Amino acid sequence: MSGDEMAALLLKLGWASRELARRLDVRAQTVAGWTSGRRGIPPNLADWLELRARLEDDAPPLPDGWERKPRTE
């Protein structure tokens, strides 16, 4: 997996690189190294991210009749 592919999977999952770092309990700089291509992405991590993305693809839609309420900010 390339850094660009990892970044695309993170985008698909709706995760910032900091979220991946939090989930893996690694420094944000480690994730930045992977996504920039400066560091190799561990194969088991690549497999896990690909699995998470496939699960996201297969996730059911929101429940019938569910309506998102507008945010008040």
Distances (CA, A) of 49 to 52, 60, 73: 5, 19, 33
Residue 69 is predicted with a pLDDT of: 77
Contacts of 35 (CB under 8 A, 6+ apart): 3, 4, 6, 7, 10, 17
pTM: 0.78
Average pLDDT by consecutive 10-residue portion of the chain (73 residues)? 96 94 96 96 97 88 81 70
Q: In this predicted structure, what is the pLDDT of residue 33?
A: 97
